[in-house]
Amino acid sequence: MKRRQVLNVVFILWLLSFNQLDAQKLQSDNKNGTYTNPLIFADFPDPDVIRVGNTYYMVTTTMFIFPGVTILKSNDLVNWEYCNNAVPRMDFSPCYNLENGNRYAHGQWATSFKYNKGKFYLLFITLDEGGFICSTTKPESTWEIKRLPRGFYDPGLFFDEDGKIYVAHGYETIEITELDSNFIAKGKDVEVFKGDLAKGLEGTHLYKLNGYYYLYSTYGGPNGFQVALRSKNIYGPYEEKVVIRDTEGQNKGIHQGALIKTQTGEWWTILFIDNGPFGRMPSLQPVTWKDDWPIVGVNGKGVVTYKKPNVGKDYPVKVLPTSDEFNNPKLGMQWGWNHNPDSTKWSLTQNRGSLRLLTVKVTNNLRDALNTLTQRIFGYYSTSTPTIATTKINTDKMIEGDLAGLAVFQDPYAYIGIKKKNGLKYIIMVNNGTTIDSLAINKSTVYLQARVAYGIGKASFLYSLDNRLFLKVGDELSMKFNLSVFTGNKFSLFNYATKSIGGFVDFDWFRVKGEVNKLK
């Protein structure tokens, strides 16, 4: 073959490799001045976003996952990184410890994010414990959390120019309540608007712009849409306008979020879309103003690929982390425990370079197992690219009845694991509580893998003894987004006892990648 032909072949192979990598990208930034929605291809619902100086901060809902109340930060509204998890744990009910119940589909709900006079505030509600206010002078540092005498459903906190503090809140009927400096109601709730376009007006954020008070609200659900209400008086009367109602395609039902103004005077909104088993994902949409009304999207539709916001300069692409070698003595912020963890039963230092999970209590159900470590499943910007998670696990110290492994967790859930039974170890695959397959192994170190196909909503499970040849076990999980859990499906590492506590396993690493070919 002539040298020119060789060079052409090398170039084509390089180009194909580049295109495959590009198809597997995990970030919305297209590196050409545009971005593609969803803004983050993972479960970051109920966003509220503020700008302080040149930094944008976003808070989202994490419910029963702790550390929780995840805060992200960005310089350009497109490239986000973890900033903090504002609430390390919830100690306001034993249910957060999976005692006398649980908090699936409960816990922290839609949070209001505000900055006022040098201080950051987060106001949220839990359906069972009521209202909470968190505050700090630096979002990356420790947040003070205080329980309030009462909660406000889907609160929209607001600091007015005259020093008064208000909260907009409610479901179907929106009310305004004045608060004192301790965020306690000063008087009665005042009804200001009753939803009249559909069921379930909620998710209200409160702003003051152009002499108007704006209630930026949603009629929620998979067919949701966004409205703005405005009045010259905070207590109304309010007039209403639909600002986006996208009924088809990727942005179908886009709703609930925040209005943001850039340093250059542009207006944007971050709302979310219900995106199947992976959860509810944020979407960045342009905003134009017409007759003092915010209009979202372009020609009544949400944008998919669009020019990036003008924030005065360009910033580098950032990708939120997923893989973890467990070499750091502190867990990465992508991880969260299913309910409060028992801090004495896990370690990153007892066997450096590994995550050690000790059994906590005896149970026969993954849903009730403490110290299950989870992270959001990220999709790739290609529907044919499955997300593949692999972990290396050492099982030397398992005892009779112990069960450890890798799950895809929602309702239903499924996992591949190792169970010690009658002194032997077995690879098992469990689909929603039913054991589908089981086979004996004679090695202590095993590689477990979960392959999740976003495009078809399926997950399959495999194992390997050498990290090269992976064998499928059991059947496929048909993934769902079930309101009984109310978060997107999550990868989960677990170890629990069915007989007695005392055993442990070491996870050496957890690695996530994508493949171009469809999952078979």
Residues belonging to the active site: 46, 202
First to last CA, the chain: 37
Of 313, 307, 460, the closest CA to residue 389 belongs to: 460
What are the backbone angles phi and psi of residue 248, rounded to the nearest 5°?
A: -155, 165
Q: Per DSSP, which regions of 17-61 are E strands?
A: 34-36, 48-52, 55-59
Do the beta carbons of residue 95 and residue 103 sit within 8 Å?
yes
- Burial group, residue 483, by CB count within 10 angstroms (0-12, 13-18, 19+): exposed
CA distances, 69 to each of 58, 205, 351 (Å): 10, 18, 30
CB 218 within 8 A of CB 153: no
DSSP string, 139-154: TTSPPEEEE-SS--SS
- The region, left, alpha or beta by phi > 0 then psi within -120 to 50, assigned to residue 158 is beta
Q: What angle do CA 9, 11, 14 make, to 5 degrees?
A: 110
443 touches 466 (CB < 8 A): no
Q: Is 399 helix (H, G, I), strand (E, B) or coil?
A: coil
CB 46 within 8 A of CB 156: no
The strand pairing partners of 417, in sequence order, are 405, 428
Give the bridge partners for 440, in sequence order. Answer: 426
Q: How would DSSP label each residue in 302-370?
A: --SEEEPP--SS----------B---SSS--TT-EEESS--GGGEESTTTTTSEEEE--SB-S-GGG-S
**Gap between the Cα atoms of 331 and 354, Å rounded:** 11
Q: What are phi and psi of 20, to 5 degrees?
A: -65, -40
Q: Give residue 500's Cα distance to chain centre.
A: 34
C-alpha 260/C-alpha 285 separation (Å) is 10
